Chains A and B, each alone.
Chain A
């Protein structure tokens, strides 16, 4: 009986440890079709565009990606995939077209924003705002 109890306790403890040390998966590569990646940004970065993008960011993006794009939003810990740090050059090196594609299409935890942000111009505003997050 004692052995059974010990065994059960050990299995439970081991499972708890494994859960405790499970971290959010690192993002897998996200290929963007060449046509989309090369798409030019038709919205010139301006004070108005960045303000519009920031407003949309705060409403739609900040809860996961964080207020400043560090990937530390209040929902981030619940996600299967850790949101990428948008202040780093790895993300900032991506083309405007790639960012536009990813926001529009979504993947796994990242929802598609085609309907949530119906105007393409607004998605470009968000892209322009993301550029200001670079450190």
Chain B
């Protein structure tokens, strides 16, 4: 008797055989992987955080995600000249009244940097703390995250309490979470949401309309903002920097303007020099976010007043590292 094998049955058997082979292969691959993992477990290759997402702790008016290595002492000298819109008459703001900040920072332990500085505007003293929470690590963390906090005190003389009803009204606090990614060797990007708190708002205004009289606070105590920053390296020591700060909170009046800044960074072993143009003139992140009156763009106010844009100032940051 002739043995006949039906075609569908043969196909089914062949298919089953293939699946079994693949599964066996998979098992053997898994077995190899497990063996390889076991070997790696003996001598684990520890993934290291990416280096030099930025060259400096500053990116124009904002802090970068970088925290100096333990034991680093840093000195900052920052300068913001007058607005460029007067042209030659004050040499594009270079001969106008300028704002200056001198500060120092020290990293007492790994991932923590503490700073103190004084700013000419409002004789503003500031103390700051910066802590690296996460560091971008290939296969582990896609971004670096750093916390930055700053507390500033206006130390101007106030005869007869004309400026401040209470001493605590002198204080402004700024808290920011900085999230950054080194995209490649040349490009690094950063986004940094922040909240600024002012103890004393500027006062009240009254609105009279058909519904009657309403009293509003000029500004809220808390102000949210977000900063976007980027660095593109042109060489080992030279980079292009761009920065944009967008206010989020809407206040009754005195809404601050956004800030657009751009410039170059030149680095050496112990210094970084940043030369740029931007809208921020104050040298404190809280003050800048709350009170920036210079707008990069033209806009129309609620009462119909047209405000010119292009209010830029030239500025520089110099940092000197001792480590």
Known pairs A59-B267, A59-B268, A59-B269; A118 contacts B69 (CB<8 A): yes
Asked if B303 is at the interface of the complex by the 8 Å CB criterion, the answer is no
Complex: A119 Cα to B52 Cα, angstroms:
12
Closest Cβ neighbor of B72 among chain A residues:
A115
Closest to A57 in B: B236
Which of B235, B269, B321 interacts with A63 by CB under 8 Å?
A: B269
**Interface size class, chain B:** 10 to 19
Interface SS of B by simple majority: loop
Which secondary structure dominates where chain A touches chain B?
A: helix
| Residue A60 interfacial (CB < 8 Å) | yes
Q: Is the CB of A116 within 8 A of B269?
A: yes
Residues of A within 8 A of B270 (CB): 116
Q: Is the CB of A115 within 8 A of B269?
A: no
Do residues B236 and A58 form an inter-chain contact, with CB atoms below 8 A? yes
What total of chain A residues lie within 8 Å of the partner, measured CB to CB? 14
A63 to B72, CA, bound (A): 21
With A59-B268, A63-B268 already in contact, the answer to whether A115 and B71 are too (CB < 8 A) is yes
A60 to B48: give the CA distance in the assembly, Å: 22
A122 contacts the other chain (CB 8 A): yes
In the complex, A55 has a CB within 8 A of chain B:
yes
Judged by a CB distance under 8 angstroms, whether B213 is at the interface is no
A121 and B47 CA atoms in complex are apart in Å by 13
Whether a CB of chain A sits under 8 angstroms from the CB of B237 is yes
Which chain A residues numbered 55 to 79 have a C-beta less than 8 Å away from chain B?
55, 58-61, 63
Q: Chain A CB within 10 Å — which of B71, B321, B323 has the most? A: B323
Closest Cβ of chain A: how far from B40's Cβ, in Å?
Answer: 17
On whether the beta carbons of B323 and A115 are closer than 8 Å, the reply is yes
Closest 9 CB pairs of A and B: A58-B236, A115-B323, A60-B269, A118-B69, A55-B236, A59-B236, A115-B69, A115-B71, A59-B237
Pick 14 A–B contacts, CB within 8 A, sort by A: A54-B236, A55-B236, A58-B235, A58-B237, A59-B267, A60-B269, A63-B268, A63-B269, A115-B72, A115-B323, A116-B270, A116-B321, A119-B48, A122-B51
Q: Known pairs A58-B237, A115-B71, A115-B323; list 17 more (Cβ under 8 Å).
A: A54-B236, A55-B236, A58-B235, A59-B268, A59-B269, A60-B269, A61-B269, A63-B268, A63-B269, A111-B269, A115-B72, A116-B321, A116-B323, A118-B69, A119-B48, A119-B51, A122-B51
